[in-house]
Amino acid sequence: MPTFRLTQISDPHLARRLPTLTDNFHRVSEYIDTTRPDLVINSGDLAFDGPDHPDDLEFAKALHDALPVTCRYLPGNHDIGDNPTKVCPPPSQPVTEASQQAFLSIFGEDRWRFEAASWCFVGLNSMVMNTGLAREAEQFDWLASQLSAVGGKPLALFLHKPLYLNAPGDPELAATAVRYIPQPARTHLLEMFGAVDLRLVASGHVHQRRDFTRGHVRHVWAPSSGFIIPDRKQEVIGIKEVGLVEYIFQPDGFEVRHVRAPGQVDVDLDSLRG
Ligand SMILES: [Fe+2]
Ligand SMILES: [Fe+2]
Among 67, 83, 125, 107, residue whose Cα is nearest residue 244: 67
CATH at 63: 3.60.21.10
**Mean pLDDT of all residues in the chain?**
97
Strands 217-221 and 4-9: unpaired
How many folded domains does the chain comprise?
1
Q: Residue 257: in which H helix or E strand, if any? A: strand 253-259
Q: Is the pLDDT of residue 1 over 80?
A: no
Tens of pLDDT, residue by residue over 136-157, are 999 999 999 999 999 999 999 9
Neighbours of 61 (CB within 10 A): 19
Q: Cα(247) to centroid of ligand 2, in Å?
A: 22
Q: Cα(82) to centroid of ligand 2, in Å?
A: 8
pLDDT value of position 274:
56
- For residue 63, give Cα distances in angstroms to 49, 69, 204, 210: 16, 12, 19, 26
Tens of pLDDT, residue by residue over 218-242, are 999 999 999 999 999 999 999 999 9
Nearest ligand by distance to the CA of 9: 1
CA distance 14 to 57: 8
Q: Please report which residue ranges of the chain form alpha helices under DSSP H.
A: 19-35, 54-65, 77-80, 97-107, 134-147, 185-193, 269-272
* Domain of residue 159, residue span: 4-272
